[in-house]
């Protein structure tokens, strides 16, 4: 495997991942971030260009890890490097972001029995996050057992467990089957809660409805705590994202979104989990969000961690969330 040039050491954040047969990209000056080359041992390994629909889930990605002792995989001071002109400003990335250093972002993925989907997501997501110069960690929160699935509660668990691991300031909550199609869709937090997946191919790249907050979203630590996190009471499919939308609005905040070009996502086709049937109580619960939001959330979270595996590509947390 080739090393990055010594002048431009890779910034591999927390897990030193390698995807397929290639190492994560070096950041060379003067090249667009959407077409950064990959150091590779194969004949070719190309990135998906900005805005391209060419994500391919037909082939099984082979994931492995770089050696943690490679001399090229060493931290660098991005603020100093940027001021010295060693790194380009990313298209659409404001200069002021470099003044505060790398943003600490936790990617939270609620999960059960989706191993192939996870590999596809990581294959595309890791290089994008490195190109966005984030100090990030990926947390896969697995619901133990065969009980009714609870996506929202798993995301609350991910928030709580990630903060035990690192001082994160931003949290991106992502379904395992949604892959971003544009590098300019910034995985970071803004002044208001951010809905990132605004144009999914399943919905013909349109919002299914104006208050939709599902798929992939980003909230700062303070924003998440202000609304008391996600509700824990939504067992089965549907309703939890609409409840979060209401919590945000009821607390005087608004939703921000990227445009429909930047916010494109491709969904990996799959069958519905047999233990994730439609939640028949979701409409009734949604009608009482204002009364329940301060009594059901992070402040009432109850779970048991059964196992934590710290892989170089992600942290896998297996939890018992007391499913009915």
pLDDT at 80 over 70: no
Q: Which residues contact 130 (CB under 8 A, 6 or more apart)?
A: 10, 11, 12, 13, 24, 25
Nearest alpha-carbon partner for 222 in 249, 190, 196, 182: 190
CATH of domain 104-270+281-320: 3.90.550.10
CB 36 within 8 A of CB 28: yes
pLDDT at 282: 72
- The stretch 289-313 carries a mean pLDDT of 94
pLDDT in tens, 226-284: 999 999 999 987 789 999 999 999 999 999 999 999 999 999 986 655 555 566 677 78
The full set of domain ranges for the chain reads: 104-270+281-320
The CA distance from 247 to 223, in Å, is 10
Work out the mean pLDDT of the chain and round it to a whole number.
76
The CA distance from 267 to 70, in Å, is 35
pLDDT at 133: 86
pLDDT at 49 over 50: no
**pLDDT level of residue 58 (50, 70, 90 thresholds):** low
Question: Which one-letter DSSP state was computed for residue 211?
Answer: T
pLDDT at 264: 96
CB 245 within 8 A of CB 255: yes
pLDDT at 55: 57
- The stretch 106-122 carries a mean pLDDT of 93
pLDDT at 173 over 60: yes
CB 321 within 8 A of CB 277: no
pLDDT at 175: 96
- The stretch 4-16 carries a mean pLDDT of 34
| Dihedral pair phi/psi, residue 225, rounded to 5° | -70, -35
pLDDT in tens, 303-318: 999 999 998 889 999 9
The tokens for 133 are 């110069």
Least confident of 17-31, 58-72, 170-184: 17-31
pLDDT at 99: 44
pLDDT at 6 over 50: no
- Burial class of 104 by CB neighbour count within 10 A (0 to 12, 13 to 18, 19+): buried
- Which positions are annotated as active-site residues? 175, 177, 237, 240-241, 267, 270, 272
Q: Which residues contact 95 (CB under 8 A, 6 or more apart)?
A: 89
pLDDT at 102: 80
Q: Are strands 178-180 and 134-143 parallel, antiparallel or unpaired?
A: unpaired
pLDDT at 139: 97
pLDDT at 62: 53
- The stretch 99-117 carries a mean pLDDT of 86
The CA distance from 305 to 324, in Å, is 17
């Amino acid at each position: 495997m080739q090393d990055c040039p010594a002048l431009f050491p890779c910034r591999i954040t927390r897990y030193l991942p390698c995807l397929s047969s290639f190492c994560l990209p070096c950041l060379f000056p003067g090249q667009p971030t959407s077409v950064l080359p990959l150091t590779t041992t194969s004949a070719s390994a190309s990135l998906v260009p900005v805005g391209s629909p060419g994500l391919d889930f037909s082939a099984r990605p082979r994931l492995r890890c770089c050696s943690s002792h490679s001399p090229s995989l060493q931290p660098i001071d991005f603020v100093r490097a940027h001021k010295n002109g060693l790194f380009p400003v990313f298209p659409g990335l404001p200069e002021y972001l470099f003044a505060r250093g790398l943003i600490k972002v936790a990617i939270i993925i609620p999960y059960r029995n989706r191993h192939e989907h996870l590999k596809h997501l990581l294959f595309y997501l890791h290089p994008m996050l490195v190109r966005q110069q984030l100090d990030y960690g990926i947390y896969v929160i697995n619901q133990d057992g065969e009980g009714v699935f609870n996506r929202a509660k798993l995301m609350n668990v991910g928030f709580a467990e990630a903060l035990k691991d690192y001082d994160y300031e931003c949290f991106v909550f992502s379904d395992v089957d949604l892959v971003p199609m544009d590098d300019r869709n910034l995985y970071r937090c803004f002044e208001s809660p951010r809905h990132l997946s605004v144009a999914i191919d399943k919905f013909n790249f349109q919002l299914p409805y104006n208050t939709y907050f599902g798929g992939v979203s980003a909230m700062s630590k303070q924003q998440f705590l202000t609304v008391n996190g996600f509700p824990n009471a939504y067992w089965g499919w549907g309703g939890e994202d609409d409840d979060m939308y209401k919590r945000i609005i009821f607390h005087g905040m608004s939703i921000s979104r990227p445009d429909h070009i930047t916010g494109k996502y491709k969904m990996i086709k799959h069958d519905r989990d047999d233990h994730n049937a439609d939640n028949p109580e979701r409409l009734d619960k949604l009608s009482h969000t204002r009364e329940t939001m301060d009594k059901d959330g992070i402040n009432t979270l109850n779970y048991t961690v059964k196992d934590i595996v710290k892989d170089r590509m992600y942290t896998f947390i297996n939890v018992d969330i007391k499913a009915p």
